[in-house]
Amino acid sequence: MNFYIIIPAHNEADVISQTLTSLITQTLPAKQIVVVNDNSSDHTKHIVNTFVDKYPNVSLVNTISSDAHLPGSKIINAFYKGLEQLDDDYDIICKFDADLIFPKNYLEQLAIHFNTNAQLGMAAGFCYIKNNNQWILENLTRKDHIRGALKAYRKQCFLDIGKLKPSMGWDTVDELLAKYYGWELKTDETLQVKHLKPTGISYNKASKYMQGEAMYKMRYGLIITLISALKLAYKKKSLNLFADYMAGYFRGKRQNLEQLVTKEQGHYIRQLRWKGIKGKLK
């Protein structure tokens, strides 16, 4: 299987060498690895170039975007800068973060999953973070959700969902649309990926509102948004976040923000969410 990997990177000089090393030493090498250096002010560019000079499947794209922290749109816009450099000769397209250390058999095991199941549209391992010198499962990890840090899409699934949405919530709506189009998802708990920077560590107040706006744009509706916001705030151990998420939802509704999905897709998403909620209550 041909794996193409795109890695958006902004000021990742302290970690990106570990990420690239773990990828170029895979038992199943990626055909292409593109790092998109997005407005970095550190030595990210220099470090990536040392890999470009040594490995023909590694390339670098430099781009300049806003210095503002814009979860979702900034990283996906950088992803598209990398996608522009690639041809269509891929079986699996991956969007990986620049702060991950992958086990050596990561791509090989994903290939086995994709080859075994023709309906498998997305697959990934689990993220682990370091805590008191031990690697523990990151608390946002779930068996039914593929983390935004390590997305891998079968080509047709990637095309069916309209590729990736440059918005907060892109890493949820992609899964919902994949299911809408009949694709399956798989998480492999044996593939333990070290996540060097915990998710959300740099989120500011505005980006926390964006999470609620994303729930509006995914057409969750008020009740599902309430439940989802409460659950997410509980996981992050902050009731203040619940207020931020709901404020973002109502702000999105008030501003009539552009939706990420059609009405029909939104109806499917709400049914799917209710099914999941009822299943957990049972």
Residue 253 shares a structural domain with residue 178:
no
The model's pLDDT over 45-58, given as tens digits with 9 standing for 90+, comes to 999 999 999 999 99
Residue 21 shares a structural domain with residue 141:
yes
Instruction: Please list the pLDDT of the chain residue by residue as tens digits (282 residues).
Output: 999 999 999 999 999 999 999 999 999 999 999 999 999 999 999 999 999 999 999 999 999 876 655 566 889 999 999 999 999 999 999 999 999 999 999 999 999 999 999 999 999 999 999 988 899 998 777 788 999 999 999 999 999 999 999 998 999 999 999 999 999 999 999 999 999 987 655 555 567 788 899 999 999 999 999 999 998 888 878 888 899 999 999 999 999 999 999 999 999 999 999 998 888 776
H helices of 15-160, where?
Answer: 16-24, 44-54, 73-83, 106-116, 155-160
Domain limit, last residue, from 156, 173, 195: 195
Residue 123 shares a structural domain with residue 215:
no
Structural Rg of the chain based on CA atoms: 18
The model's pLDDT over 140-159, given as tens digits with 9 standing for 90+, comes to 777 889 999 999 999 999 99
Residues 245, 216, 151, 82, CA torsion sign? negative
Structural domain containing residue 98: 3-195
Residue 276 shares a structural domain with residue 138:
no
Residue 64 shares a structural domain with residue 111:
yes
Domain limit, last residue, from 168, 195, 222: 195
Residues 85, 89, 94, 98, CA torsion sign? negative
H helices of the chain, where?
Answer: 16-24, 44-54, 73-83, 106-116, 155-160, 170-180, 205-217, 222-235, 239-254, 263-281
Domains in the chain, number: 2
Residue 136 shares a structural domain with residue 233:
no
How many other CB atoms are found less than 10 A from the CB of residue 272? Answer: 15
* Distance, CA of 219 to CA of 197 (rounded, Å): 30
Residue 177 shares a structural domain with residue 236:
no
User: What pTM does this model have?
Assistant: 0.91
- What are the structure tokens assigned to 73, written together? 């749109």
Residue 267 shares a structural domain with residue 184:
no
Which residues neighbour 264 within 8 Å (Cβ) at sequence distance 6 or greater? none
Residues 2, 178, 59, 82, CA torsion sign? positive
